[in-house]
Amino acid sequence: MKKFSFNHFILKLLAVALLASCEAVFVPDPIDPRLPKYTEDGNDVAGALVDGDIWKNYYKNLFFTSYYLLQIEAYQPDSLIMFFEGSIQEEPVTFEFHLKGFQIFSFNDLSNLHNKKIFLDGTIQKALYKKWDAEMHTTSAFDNGTGQLYVKNVAFYDSSTRATISGTFGFTVTDSLGLPVEISYGRFDYKVSDSSNFGYYEGNER
């Protein structure tokens, strides 16, 4: 059962609106300027290559179009999901990292991820790749991703009510035709807040 209150919902809505009034900072990578440079400044950007195509997380003003931020959900007894929404050539593509054993029971527990190289075995720690199929009007999901998620930095500020979380990732999934899909050179740098894009829930993960 999820912990929920109307006041908490309103606070999250206001926090998201405040975040959306800011602009993301895209610093081009010096080797491949299509990708954002790896930073630890809370620039609210992410990028990766998917079989050589650019996947980008884009951040736009709430009142004109959609925007994406990192979403983190922690569940009892001890599991965590990190959601990275973005697109490839304007088609929605989402990466999810399902993690276990890091004892994230509150926002401050995100410090347990600091400087962690997480081996994704496709079973206990795994990556998911979800993409929109325009022809079928459905979302295809492949949950057998293996590789590595490296959370290089978790830094708190504003009396530990906000943090920046930055890192890199790369993994491979097998699609419905049995072909490998390679996600490489992934990097992310986000601001997170207990009142906006982090949640702790009772019960098993969805």
pLDDT in tens, 56-93: 986 555 555 445 689 999 999 999 999 999 999 888 99
Q: CA 139, CA 133: separation in Å to the nearest integer? A: 6
Query: Is residue 99 included in any domain, yes or no?
Result: yes
Question: Using CB atoms within 10 A of its CB, is residue 75 exposed (0-12), middle (13-18) or buried (19+)?
Answer: buried
Query: Is residue 1 included in any domain, yes or no?
Result: no
Counting residues of the chain whose pLDDT is more than 70, the rounded percentage is 81
What are the structure tokens assigned to 30, written together?
């010096």
How does residue 22 score in pLDDT terms, banded at 50, 70 and 90?
low
At 159 the pLDDT is 86
pLDDT at position 20 over 50: no
In this prediction the pTM is 0.84
**Taking every pair of C-alpha atoms in the chain, what is the biggest distance, in angstroms?**
49
Query: Is residue 24 included in any domain, yes or no?
Result: yes
At 135 the pLDDT is 64
Domain of residue 111: give its range.
Answer: 6-201
Lookup result for tokens 């990556």: 127
Query: Is residue 120 included in any domain, yes or no?
Result: yes
Query: Is residue 167 included in any domain, yes or no?
Result: yes
- The structural domain count of the chain equals 1
Query: Is residue 206 included in any domain, yes or no?
Result: no
DSSP string, the chain: -----HHHHHHHHHHHHHHHTS-----B-SS-TTSBPP-SS---EEEEEETTEEEEE----TTTS-----EEEEETTTEEEEEEEEEETTEEEEEEEEEESS---SGGGGGGGTTEEEEE-SSSSEEEEEEEETTTTEEEEEEEEEEEEEEEEEEEETTTTEEEEEEEEEEEEE-TTS-EEEEEEEEEEEEEETTTTEEEESSS--
At 202 the pLDDT is 85
Counting residues of the chain whose pLDDT is more than 90, the rounded percentage is 66
